[in-house]
Amino acid sequence: MHYEGKIYRPWIESESLLIQTTIGCTHNTCTFCDMFREKKFRKRKLEDVLADIEEARTLYPYVGSIFLTDGNVMVLKTDYLLKVIQKIKETFPELTKISLYSSYNDLNRKSVEELKILKEAGLTMAYIGLESGDQHTLDFVEKGLDHDEIINGARKAKEAGIRTLASFIFGLGGKARSQEHIKATTDLLNIIQPEEIAPMALALQPGTTLEQQAKDGEFIQASPLQILEEEKYLIENMTFDTMYWGDHGNNITPMKGMFMESKDRFLTYLEHARNNHPEIHQETLRTFAW
């Protein structure tokens, strides 16, 4: 198996086999992220990816799930992706899940017909960084997305039958825009209704633009109480069922489950944290780099 540089995958994919298909991220300017800073985006040679898949078969007698890295693999041409997915399915007939990183713009660039072809070939899920539904916040962190792009990309994925997991960040609006950030994010989620969501508390990554903006006073971090209130608002106002992956290690109260059946339990946990968690009285939340 061959990997270049640091390799990242969602914590949910901790037991998946990783196949590096792209190097880096096409966007790579988000001010809060340092995952691919040292890499210039390119696709790997198809023959190298296929060789890795073959080698993995010799190493693992059983593989239930495969995750394609690096950033936004969905940006690749459909024919290329189709060859990779077909090779995976042929090599690992026991496989039940193939996932990758995408952006909403990557989905926008493909037709619904192309996405359906990928779904029928075996693509199961796309992990997408939503980050915020607040356009001011999206622009501030240089996400390069607007609401129409997000809504249209989400619509295409649903039409094609590809599950999406939308990740977003409590506290990304900072102290000043905490309410605007979470209200707009909740409103947008109620429109696009991803099959799964993964909220996580903001962790300032060392060396990022956002970390420097925090040092310079241009960005004031939301307090732990504000972050807790953001999650409470989300849970009280989300109107659709989804798998809630709120168990990221930086979250004040890690919790997960199907949303509708877990909603009351989640609110109980949050109320307990508000009354008892030692972080609530701090100025900023203690978090860990990814």
Average pLDDT for the chain: 96
* CA gap 279, 277 in Å, rounded: 6
Confidence (pLDDT) at 59: 96
**Beta strand 255-258 with 243-246: parallel, antiparallel or unpaired?**
antiparallel
* Residue 268 in tokens: 């109980």
Band the pLDDT of 82: cuts 50, 70, 90. very high
Contact 104, 126 (CB under 8 A): no
263-269, long-range: CB < 8 A, 24+ apart: 263/235, 266/235, 267/232, 267/235, 267/236
As a whole number, mean pLDDT of residues 186-208 equals: 97
Q: How confident is the model at residue 37 (pLDDT cuts 50, 70, 90)?
A: confident
Q: What are phi and psi of 256, to 5 degrees?
A: -150, 160
- Give the domain ranges of the chain: 11-281
For the domain made up of 11-281, the CATH class stated in words is alpha beta
pLDDT at residue 288, rounded to an integer: 83
User: Percentage of the chain with pLDDT > 70?
Assistant: 100
Backbone angles phi, psi at 106, to 5 degrees: -60, -40
Residue 43 backbone dihedrals phi, psi, to 5 degrees: -90, 150
Q: Are 236 and 267 in contact (CB under 8 A)?
A: yes
Identify the pLDDT of residue 289: 82
User: DSSP string spanning 116-148?
Assistant: HHHHHHT--EEEEEEE-S-HHHHHHTT----HH
What does the pLDDT look like over 52-67, one tens digit per residue? 999 999 999 999 999 9
Q: Say if residues 84 and 21 touch (Cβ distance below 8 Å).
A: yes
pLDDT at 78 over 90: yes
d(CA 234, CA 212): 29
- Evaluate if residue 266 carries a pLDDT over 90: yes
Give me the residues paired with residue 258 across strands: 243
Other C-beta atoms lying within 10 Å of the C-beta of residue 239: 11
Q: What is the pLDDT of residues 210-262, one digit of tens each?
A: 999 999 999 999 999 999 999 999 999 999 999 999 999 999 999 999 999 99
Rounded to the nearest 10°, the torsion over CA 116, 63, 254, 158 is 10
* Stated pTM of the model: 0.95
Tell me the average pLDDT across 109-138: 98
Quote the pLDDT of residue 290.
Answer: 72
Q: How far from 136 is each of 33, 117, 129, 178, CA to CA, in Å?
A: 18, 36, 16, 12
pLDDT value at 142 more than 90: yes
pLDDT at position 81 is 98
Closest by CA to 33, choosing from 180, 230, 172, is 172
The CA distance from 233 to 251, in Å, is: 15
CB 205 within 8 A of CB 33: yes
Q: pLDDT digits over 41-53, tens only?
A: 999 999 999 999 9
> What pLDDT score was predicted for residue 72?
93
Locus of tokens 């696009």: 192
pLDDT tier, 207 (very low <50, low <70, confident <90, very high otherwise): very high
Q: What are phi and psi of 52, to 5 degrees?
A: -65, -40
Taking the C-alpha atoms of residue 187 and residue 209, their distance in angstroms, rounded to an integer, is 28
Residue 46 is predicted with a pLDDT of 98
Q: Answer whether residue 124 shows pLDDT above 80.
A: yes
